[in-house]
Structure 1
């Protein structure tokens, strides 16, 4: 399920999380996926789970994992997309990207 901080900014939310809270939440989610990847089997990846946005629809665990990794990749691309321009061409090289 979504982390409660992911719901910040919705009409029913009254508080904006601090940067530290966001980093802590992200760290815990990264650890959760890392721990899962350390023990997952091919059989596990073929398992079915209901889609949280469409509970009557089933997705494989592998499909869910692809979504997580694709989202991470796109967030990374967005975060570093302007580094070359901002740093005069040194951004991506300096970041090791």
Structure 2
């Protein structure tokens, strides 16, 4: 299955820090949860294998699942939308179990 926008690995993304200067980090809380991130620019996942992480990145949107651990994305533009739901479908406002999200504009390479 072909992708419209290729997902680059961490090495390629580091080379693109000037065009993808911002960083969003999703931190799992030990409960299976789903997330969707939308930006008004481009977004790329910082992972060796996004498919193994269960994440789909297409154009300006990334969506996936997380239980534990951290998933990071570099992006350009501004954060447009973040949607988080826990395994019961409860959104962030109604669940203390959804992942936390950290957004850093102008984030240096890590």
TM-score (norm 1): 0.21
Say which structure is richer in strand: 2
Normalising to structure 2: TM-score of the pair? 0.19
Q: 1 or 2 for the larger relative contact order (CA 8 Å, sep ≥6)?
A: 2
* Rg larger for: 1
Which structure's residues are more often helix, by fraction?
1
